[in-house]
Structure 1
Amino acid sequence: MSAIQHIFHNRAFNYSSVTIAIISVLTVASATAEEQKILEIPTVDIERIIVTERSFNDYKAGSASGAMRGDIDLMDTPQSVNVIPDFITDEQLATNLAEVLVNDSSVTGGSEKWNRQVFSIRGFELSSGSGYLINGQQQWSHYVQPIETLQQVEVLKGPSSMLYGQSGPGGLINMVTKKPTLDTTFELGFDTDEHGSTRFQLDAGGAINDAETIRYRTVLVKQDTQYWREYQDGSNQERDRWLGYLNLEFDITDDLMLSLKYDHTQDKTGIDRGGWLNSSGDLIGGEDIIWDQPWAFTDNTITNMGADIVYHINDNWKINAGYNEQQFNRQRLDSSPSLKNGSEDPFTDGYNIKPFDRYDDWQHKTSYVDFVGNFSAAGLDHQFLLGANMLDYYYGQLRVKGDANTVMPNQPIPNPNLDYNDDSDGKYESDYKHYGFYIQDLITINDRWQVLAGVRYDEQKKEGEGGNSYALSPKFGVIYSPATNGSIYVNYSKSFTPQGAVKDFEDVNNKMNLDPEYGEQYELGTKWELFNGSLLLTGAIFDITVSNVTVTEDLDVPTVIHKKITTQGGEQRHQGFEMGAQGQISDDWFLTSSMMYLNAQYETGVSDRDNLDGKTPVDAPQWSANVWTRYEMTDYLAFNVGAIYVGERFANTNNSITKDGYVRFDLGAAYTMDIFGRDVGIRLNVKNLFDTDYLAGGTNTDVTVGEGRHFGLGLEAKF
Structure 2
Amino acid sequence: MQLNRIFVSVTLGLLAVSNSALSLDKSNDENVEVMEVTGSYFNDYQVEDASGAMRSNVSLLETAQAVTVIPETIIDEQLATTLGEVLNNDASLSPGTKQRNREVFSSRGFELSSSTGYLRDGHQHWSHYQQPIETLSRVEVIKGPSSILYGQSAPGGLINMVTKQPTTSPLLEISADTDQNGSTRFMLDAGGEIFEDTAYRAVLVKQDVDFQREYQNGEARERDRFLGSLVVEHNISDNLVLNVHYDRTDDKAGLDTGAWLNDEPDVISDKNVINDFSWSFTDIEVENIGAKLTYFINPDWEMKVGYNEQSFTRQRFESSPSLPSDYQSGDSYDSNPYDRSDDWQFKTVYFDLNGTFTFGGVEHNLLIGANGLDYYYGQLIERGDTVSFTPGQTEPAKPDLDFNRDTSLSVTEYDYYGVYFQDLITLDEHWQVAVGGRYDKQNRDGADNESLLPKVGVLYHPAENSTVYLNYSEGFEPQSSETIEDELDSNFGMEIDATTSKQIELGAKWQFSERLLLNTAIFNIEKTGTLISEQLLDDPLFETVTTQSGKQVHKGFELSAQGAVTDKLFVMTSLMYLSAEFEEDESFEGNTPVDAPKWSASVWTRYELTEQLALNAGLFYQGERFADNANTVLKDAYTRVDIGATYRTNIWDKKVDFRLNVENVLDEDYLAGGGIDNVTIGDGATARIEAKISF
- Does TM-score exceed 0.5, indicating one fold? yes
Report the CA distance shift for 1:666/1:261 in structure 2 as closer, same or farther (over 3 A).
same
Q: Answer yes or no: is the 8 Å Cα contact 1:57–1:534 preserved in 2.
A: no
Q: Superposition pairs for residues 6-405 of structure 1, below 5 Å?
A: 58-209=44-195, 211=196, 213-340=197-324, 342-347=325-330, 349-405=331-387
Letter in 1 for 2:386: A
8 Å contact from structure 1 (residues 57, 583) kept in 2: no
Identity of matched residues, %: 52
Q: Which residue of 2 aligns with 1:52?
A: none
Give 1:585's aligned residue: 565
Residues 57 and 584, structure 1, Cα contact 8 Å, conserved in 2: no
Q: CA deviation digits over 1:575-612, x for unaligned, max 9?
A: 000010000111111000001000000012x5xx2x41
Secondary structure of 1:313's aligned partner: strand
**1:496 is matched with which residue?**
476
Amino acid across the alignment from 1:472: L
1:422 to 405, 409, 430: 405
In the alignment, structure 1 residue 595 sits paired with structure 2 residue 579 = no
User: Counterparts in 2 of 1:544-555, with a 5 A limit?
Assistant: 544-549=525-530
Structure 1 SS opposite 2:391:
coil
Structure 2 counterpart of 1:443: 425
Contact kept, 8 Å, 1:277 with 1:284, in 2: the verdict is yes
Deviation string for 1:407-431 (max 9, x for gaps)? 101331100021011224x000010
2:611 to 622, 632, 635: 635
Any residues of structure 2 matched to 1:548-563 within 5 Å, and which? 548-549=529-530
Contact kept in structure 1, 2:460 and 2:468, CA below 8 Å = yes
For 1:155 and 1:178, locate their aligned partners in 2 and report how far apart those are by CA, in whole Å.
17
Give, in angstroms, the shift of residue 351 of structure 1.
Answer: 0.6
Note the C-alpha offset of 1:314: 1.1
Q: How far apart, CA to CA, are the structure 1 residues paired with 2:366 and 2:187?
A: 40
Deviation of 1:346 (Å): 4.6
Tell me which residue corresponds to 1:692. 668
1:182 deviation in Å? 1.1
Task: Spell out, residue by residue over 1:72-106, the C-alpha distance to the aligned partner (whole angstroms, 9 max, x if none).
Answer: 11110000000000110110010000000000000
Tell me the residue number matched to 1:33.
none
Deviations 1:118-160 (A, max 9, x none): 0110000001110000000001111001100000000000010
Q: Could you say what secondary structure the match of 1:129 adopts?
A: coil
The secondary structure found in structure 2 opposite 1:140 is coil
Q: TM-score, normalized by length of structure 2?
A: 0.89
What SS does the corresponding residue of 2:137 show, helix, strand or coil?
Answer: strand
Secondary structure of the residue aligned to 2:149 is helix
Q: Secondary structure at the match of 2:49?
A: coil
Separation in 2, partners of 1:239, 1:546: 38
| 1:71 CA displacement | 1.5
Aligned partner (choices 473, 490, 497) of residue 453 of structure 2: 473
Q: CA deviation at 1:458?
A: 0.4
Range 698-707 or range 274-283, more displaced: 274-283
What secondary structure does 2:596 align onto? coil
- Cα distance, 1:242 vs structure 2: 0.2
Q: Please tell me the residue identity of whatever aligns with 2:498.
A: P
Partners of 2:531 and 2:159 in 1: CA distance: 21
Q: Is the 8 A contact 1:619 1:698 kept in 2?
A: yes
The residue that corresponds to 2:437 in the other structure is: 455
Per the alignment, residue 542 of structure 2 pairs with: none
Tell me how large the CA RMSD over aligned residues is.
Answer: 1.7
Contact 1:166 1:497 in 2 (8 A): yes
Q: Shift of the alpha carbon at 1:219?
A: 0.3
Task: Tell me by how many angstroms 1:316 deviates.
Answer: 1.1
Equivalent residue of 1:363, what SS? Answer: strand
- Secondary structure of the 2:462 match is strand
Q: 1: CA distance between counterparts of 2:322 and 2:392?
A: 15
Give the counterpart letter for 1:416 in structure 2.
Answer: P
**Alpha-carbon deviation of 1:689?**
1.0
Contact conserved, 1:640 with 1:668, CA < 8 A, in 2?
yes
Query: SS state of the match for residue 693, structure 1?
Result: coil
Match of 2:633 among 632, 648, 657: 657
Offset of residue 568 of structure 1 = 7.2
Q: 1:107 to 1:268 in 2, by over 3 A?
A: same
One of 381, 392, 398 as aligned partner of 1:410: 392
1:537 partnered with 2:513:
no
TM-score of the aligned structures, taking structure 1 as reference length: 0.86
**Partner residue in 2 for 1:618:** 594
Q: In the aligned structure 1, how far is the partner of 2:172 from the partner of 2:293?
A: 26
Instruction: Spell out, residue by residue over 1:202-231, the C-alpha distance to the aligned partner (whole angstroms, 9 max, x if none).
Output: 00001111x3x1000000000000000010
Question: Contact 2:447/2:479 (CA < 8 Å) preserved in 1?
Answer: no
Q: Is residue 705 from structure 1 mapped to residue 681 from structure 2 by the alignment?
A: yes
How far apart are residue 548 of structure 1 and its match? 2.2
How many Å apart are 1:65 and its aligned residue?
0.3
Would the aligned equivalents of 1:346 and 1:408 in 2 still touch at CA under 8 Å? no
3-state secondary structure, aligned to 1:292: coil
The match for 1:561 is none
Asked if the contact 2:532–2:550 (Cα under 8 Å) also holds between the matched residues in 1, the reply is: no
Q: Partners of 2:229 and 2:207 in 1: how far apart?
A: 15
**Runs of 5+ unmatched residues, structure 2:** 1-41, 483-494, 534-545
